[in-house]
Amino acid sequence: MAIFNEINKHSKVVGIIIGVGLLFFILGNEFFGQNSIFSRSKNNVGEIAGTNIDLDEYRQKLSQSELDYQIRTGKSVGESERASIQEMAWNQLISKYVVEPQYDKLGLGVSKEELVDMVQGKNIHATVKQLFTNPQTQQFDKSFLTNFLQNFDKQEPRNQQLWTNIESSLPIERLRNKYLNLLKMTNYVTKEESKREYANQNDKLDIKFVYVNYSALPDSSIQISDDEIKQYINNHKNQYEVEEGRSIDFVSFNILPSAKDSAIVIEELGNLTSEFKSTDNDSLFIANNSDNPSQLSYKSIGELPEELKTSRLTTDSVYGPYLQSGKYSLYKITKTKADSTYSMRASHILFKATPGIDGDGKADAAKRANEILAKIKSGASFEEMARIHGTDGTASRGGDLGWFSEGQMVKPFNDAVLNAKSAGLLPTIVATDFGYHIIKITAPKTNLKYQIGLVERDITASEETKDAIFKKADDFAAQNKDTASFYAALAKDPSLMKQSADNFKKTDSYVSSINNPREMIRWAYNDAKVGQVSKVFIAENQYYVVALKGSRDKGVADVESVRNEVSAKIRNEKKAQVIITKLKAQTGTLENIASKYGKEAISNIASDINFSAGSITGLGYDPVAVGVAFGIAKGKRSSPFIGENGVGIIEVANVNKAAEVADYTSYKTQLKQLRTGKEDYVVDNILKKQANIEDNRYKFF
């Protein structure tokens, strides 16, 4: 009974404990279960227009996008396609929560009659037409479509799914087109705007100018403080709004095959040589033994690898292995045949005609060519003479032109080589439009073609090699855990090259030279602090060790992240004031002002200046200078103005106004097309900006 008395004494406390227990029991799943609010926040991949996007919702949309890709292409999704498909799925969610509500607000819809018309009516959608094209006429054939729909239940599942996906996308596309067309209908160009555009393109000015480039003053003469940079950023905040970013330095360790890996491939191909030579089914052998199986094909001798060009080739012989483009290859000559076109190989020494005492210089070129030909006939090296006297790109390789086909060279040269009976020096020089040639036949003509069977083996890094390279990268990461030791280690090892990537976003698909850097981005945004060095990351046959050197928050850029850019602008502003002061102190004509200013001042004239072009002959692109010129009257002179690349003074010598025309329609159309072309992009950007989209997919993908 004593225990019950104690309970009665503390009944209020017990009641509270029981109540709290019941509350946790009732709300436990809400707070601590698999679907609790805490768990839901962990699975949040972002926010679009105030709606939290759950991981499951995004994955469902991603699965649909991947399935659609597989159905349309017949291929599985690879790493190279994955990033774009992920972006497509995200954009579909943006459309769902940002763009599609706009349709409802405007009362837009797509009727059943419209959908039927898009599929079977008079205005069939382009995608549907493409799917049901008659292969013989290359035109849309409605009977193909009718037959498909009437026998839909008998179609392949893949085709059924493809059609279902197309049908479901048609109303969404139609709604978007309606929405954009409504906005485009608000695009109106007035007659005055058309006339102004006509004037901008056709009015011309002749001017005189004085111009002093900012480079006339050394950068070292201008001092800039951090306070000035801060003030400039503060005065131009809209220009320096930045997204969240991370900046890194990194070093890569390339996963390359070792000499041992190459030796293994050579040995494997060597073991295949006799079997390849004796097989009766070359195509099957190639399919079973080549990393890159290819069909038997005929090739001229000029298309063969260099090693085969100099070999005595016989049928059913196997040659190699030869190293080519990171692969070792075995070649089998299976058949030969005579071709209608000859191939040949020659070297030459070209003497170009240079105009001189003899007029066009041909006689002198011929004389020099004959003198060198005589020396070669007397025993001089053709190749050495070509290196000394050759005047085209073949000189450095002793005049060698390699193999070429009949008709590939200019006719006199082609005929001379083609008519040669054997290898050796041609006895006379040959004249062409290029000059005079001394020709040596290095391989006589042949019209033989060889049927080639090719077995290729890629040279790849073995697991042993990968482990050794990984160990080197891992040791580097383990020994250098902060940026100070990271940079010190790089300074000691010249074989390691530092690379950088500044202010990459958490949604980026590429970071500097790194493809598929998702794991590295998650580390930089989720786990790392500035000054830390990463573990080893792998991407596309490279290991990476990364040092996080900077972190930038969304908002207005800090001084360090835009120091160089802002300093350049402030420096030019200060230089401009120095130049303006000096220009104002000078008097007289523009030529006098330039002369008194000094050699840094450019004085010149420019004709036919056009407002739309935005440039001035002698100055280059400077829309400010063009604007100043069109803002002053004939015979008037501007005050010193700050231009794109310096400070100038302009005087208008002549104004050539274009004559009025009766019809400005073409200019109205130009302006309308220019504006309309931007609308899709502008509308999407405005809606996205208003939606305050938060993309946290980097935490998961």
Assess whether pLDDT exceeds 80 at residue 50.
Answer: yes
Question: What is the predicted pLDDT for the residue at 358?
Answer: 59
* φ/ψ of residue 352, rounded to 5: -80, 145
Q: What is the mean pLDDT of the chain?
A: 88
Which pLDDT score is estimated for 656?
94
Predicted confidence at residue 356, as pLDDT, reads 61
- SS3 assignment, position 136: coil
Does the pLDDT of residue 1 top 80, yes or no?
Answer: no
Query: Is it true that 204-239+561-656 and 257-460 share their CATH fold?
Result: yes
pLDDT of residue 354: 79
CA angle 578, 582, 584 (to 5 degrees): 115
The C-alpha angle with vertex 123 and arms to 121 and 125, in degrees rounded to 5, equals 105
Q: What letter represents residue 87's amino acid?
A: E
% of the chain surpassing 90 pLDDT: 65
The pTM for the full model equals 0.62
Average pLDDT over residues 270-296: 94
Q: What percent of the chain has pLDDT over 70?
A: 93
Is the CB of residue 332 less than 8 Å from the CB of residue 313? no
Residue range 665-681: mean pLDDT, rounded: 86
Q: Is the pLDDT of residue 662 over 60?
A: yes
State the CB neighbour count (10 A cutoff) for residue 583: 20
Contacts of 132 (CB under 8 A, 6+ apart): 140, 141, 142, 144, 145, 148
Q: Is the pLDDT of residue 199 over 60?
A: yes
Could you tell me the pLDDT band of residue 32, with boundaries at 50, 70 and 90?
A: very low
Provide mean pLDDT across the span 265-287: 94
Q: Is the pLDDT of residue 12 over 70?
A: no
State how far the Cα of 459 lies from the Cα of 261, in Å rounded to an integer.
7
Task: Tell me the mean pLDDT in the region 257-265.
Answer: 94
pLDDT at position 33: 46
At 335 the pLDDT is 93
What is the reported pLDDT for 359? Answer: 64
Encode pLDDT of 339-350 as tens digits: 989 999 999 999
Q: Which amino acid is at 574?
A: K
The pLDDT of residue 311 = 79
Among the listed residues 342, 338, 344, the one whose alpha carbon sits nearest the alpha carbon of residue 403:
344
What's the confidence (pLDDT) of residue 456? 95
Average the pLDDT over each of 76-85, 151-160, 552-561, 646-655 and give the range with the smallest value: 76-85
Delimit the domains of the chain by residue range: 2-41, 112-184, 204-239+561-656, 251-256+463-544, 257-460
Given a cut of 70, whether residue 13 has pLDDT beyond it is no
pLDDT at 137: 86
pLDDT tens across 98-114, in order?
A: 999 999 999 999 999 99
Please compute the mean of the pLDDT values over residues 333-342 and round it to a whole number. 92
Q: Per CATH, the architecture of 204-239+561-656 is what? A: Roll (3.10)
Q: What is the arithmetic mean of pLDDT over 412-440?
A: 94
- Is the pLDDT assigned to residue 425 strictly greater than 90? yes
Asked if residue 452 lies in contact with residue 317, where contact means CB atoms within 8 angstroms, the answer is no
Q: Distance between alpha carbon 123 and the CA centroid of its chain, in Å?
A: 37
Question: Residue 42 above 90 pLDDT?
Answer: no
**Three-point CA angle 492, 498, 499, nearest 5°:** 180
Q: Is 138's pLDDT higher than 80?
A: yes
Topology at the third CATH level for domain 257-460: Chitinase A; domain 3 (3.10.50)
Taken in order 257, 259, 261, 262, the sign of the CA dihedral is positive
Return the pLDDT at 20.
43
Instruction: Give the pLDDT confidence of 349-374 residue by residue, as tens digits.
Output: 999 987 765 566 788 999 999 999 99
- At residue 261, the pLDDT reads 95
pLDDT-derived band at 161, boundaries 50, 70, 90: confident
Query: Is residue 692 pLDDT above 50, yes or no?
Result: yes
pLDDT digits (tens, 9 = 90+) for 216-249: 999 999 999 999 999 999 999 999 998 899 999 9
